[in-house]
């Protein structure tokens, strides 16, 4: 499948938002965040609006720069970004012990990059749950092209209130998605409810690490940059996630921040001092070219007004992520494998 080009990027900008309303959506989105005077409580109370605006605005930038899987990965020397992303997805499938024909749930599935890879790797049927209409439309098209549209489906719903009966799935996973939940316990409890007893839930969570100091102003600035740049109500600590899992009823089999043992840093592709031809669009030069291209597309009316502003907050996110990674106060790969006990009730 070829990479999307400049015109694909321009036509997808704004997602399902009317092109004339993109600029006001950007302004409204920005106002939710600390840099614009926004409060955590307001972001949590309006998480559906905030997160959906975010993904309508950024999805085509993500696909243009990163690919179909919207997540980071630990990386070995000599491994390409693409290879590391696939390996990170296979790792989840292996941890869950997926078997052919099992019914699996992908919570917060994006446009389905991981879903297509994991379903082909494990011969399972995967349901992708996502609350963003634009991403689902795009994901269905990509599933059809990849030939997995008979075994995999998308369901549009909020992961805080899933439209599935109790004990439906043989396995559940979430990749860098449940960080958008206004409350981790509420989200994990829903996952627990739809998972069959004795079965497993595995995830990669975005978390602040134990090195994060909530009284350090630089740390607070980095956290706020990641929140605005990535559509997050509040980034939880690894300890808070672990506690929420246990409260929801799960037994934690094992957990680890995979960033700690990654031979190459996960944020390398976003680091301005790094240059790579294979991830050229993510490098400082590549981003400079994209920035000018978006400016030109917006000027001639091919991209909606507000597109450059989206690119600005994504650039801010990249800075926050790289700084958070370098200072080891933030991780996008806090991994855990959890089991719903056999005696687990709803
Ligand atoms: C960073 S993306 C990760 C997507 C996918 N897991 C991947 O790795 O490609 C986060 C995803 O979570 C979804 N999401 C956020 N909040 C949600 C909610 N309340 N209910 C369902 N999906 C949600 C977003 O729409 C987006 O698709």
Say if ligand 1 is within 6 A of residue 109 CB: yes
Residue whose CA lies nearest to ligand 1 atom number 26 = 110
Q: Is 56 in the pocket of ligand 1 (CB under 6 A)?
A: no
C-alpha closest to that of 325 among 165, 208, 199: 208
Residue 231 Cβ contacting ligand 1 at under 6 Å: no
Is 135 touching ligand 1 by the criterion CB < 6 Å? yes
CB burial of 312-340 (b: ≥16 within 10 Å; e: otherwise) equals: ebbebbbbbbbbbbeeebbbbbbbbbbbb
Residue 264's φ and ψ, nearest 5 degrees, are: -110, 140
Q: Which helix (H) or strand (E) holds 228?
A: helix 217-230
Looking at ligand 1, which residue's alpha carbon is closest to its atom 13?
Answer: 108
Q: What pLDDT tens digit does each residue of the chain (346 aa) get?
A: 556 776 677 777 778 888 888 888 888 888 888 777 888 888 999 999 889 988 988 898 889 888 999 999 999 999 999 999 999 999 999 999 999 999 999 999 999 999 999 999 999 999 999 999 999 999 999 999 999 999 999 999 999 999 999 999 999 999 999 999 999 999 999 999 999 999 999 999 999 999 999 999 999 999 999 998 888 989 999 999 999 999 999 999 999 999 999 999 999 988 877 656 566 667 777 777 777 777 777 777 777 788 888 888 888 888 999 999 999 999 999 999 999 999 866 6
| Residue ranges per structural domain of the chain | 1-346
Q: Return the residue matching tokens 């450059």.
A: 308
CATH class, range 1-346: alpha beta
DSSP character for 98? Answer: -
* pTM for this prediction: 0.93
Give the ligand 1 atom nearest the CA of 159.
20
Q: Which long-range contacts (CB under 8 A, 24 or more apart) does 98-101 make?
A: 98/122, 98/124, 98/171, 99/124, 99/170, 100/124, 101/125
Q: Is the CB of 175 under 6 A from ligand 1?
A: yes
Evaluate whether 107 touches 191 at the Cβ level (below 8 Å): yes
- Asked if residues 33 and 317 have their Cβ atoms less than 8 Å apart, the reply is no
Q: Which atom of ligand 1 is nearest to the CA of 132?
A: 25
């Amino acid at each position: 499948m070829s990479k999307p080009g400049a015109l694909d990027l321009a036509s997808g900008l704004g997602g399902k938002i009317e092109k004339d309303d993109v600029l006001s959506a950007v302004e409204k989105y920005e106002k939710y965040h600390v840099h614009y005077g926004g409060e955590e409580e307001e972001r949590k109370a309006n998480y559906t609006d905030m997160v959906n605006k975010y993904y309508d605005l950024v999805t085509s930038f993500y696909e243009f720069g990163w690919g179909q899987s919207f997540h980071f990965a630990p990386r070995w020397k000599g491994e390409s970004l693409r290879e590391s992303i696939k390996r990170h997805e296979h790792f989840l499938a292996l941890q869950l012990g997926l078997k052919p024909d099992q019914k699996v749930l992908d919570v917060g599935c994006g446009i389905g990059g991981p879903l297509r890879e994991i379903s082909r790797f494990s011969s399972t049927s995967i349901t992708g749950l996502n609350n963003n209409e634009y991403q689902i439309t795009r994901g269905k098209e990509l599933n059809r092209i990849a030939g997995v549209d008979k075994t995999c489906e998308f369901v549009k719903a909020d992961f805080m209130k899933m439209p599935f009966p109790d004990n439906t799935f043989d396995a559940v996973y979430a990749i860098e998605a449940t960080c958008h939940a206004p409350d981790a316990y509420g989200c994990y409890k829903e996952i627990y409810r739809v998972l069959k007893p004795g079965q497993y839930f595995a995830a990669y969570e975005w978390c602040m690490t134990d090195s994060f100091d909530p009284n350090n102003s630089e740390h607070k600035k980095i956290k706020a940059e990641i929140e605005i740049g990535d559509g997050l109500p509040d980034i939880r600590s690894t300890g808070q996630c672990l506690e929420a899992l246990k409260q929801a009823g799960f037994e934690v089999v094992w957990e680890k921040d995979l960033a700690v043992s990654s031979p190459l840093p996960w944020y390398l592709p976003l680091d301005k001092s790094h240059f790579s031809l294979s991830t050229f669009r993510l490098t400082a030069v590549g981003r400079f070219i994209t920035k000018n291209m978006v400016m030109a597309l917006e000027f001639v009316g091919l991209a909606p007004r507000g597109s450059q502003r989206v690119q600005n907050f994504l650039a801010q996110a990249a800075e926050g992520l790289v700084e958070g990674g370098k200072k080891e106060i933030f991780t996008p790969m806090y991994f855990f494998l959890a089991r719903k006990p056999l005696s687990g009730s709803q």
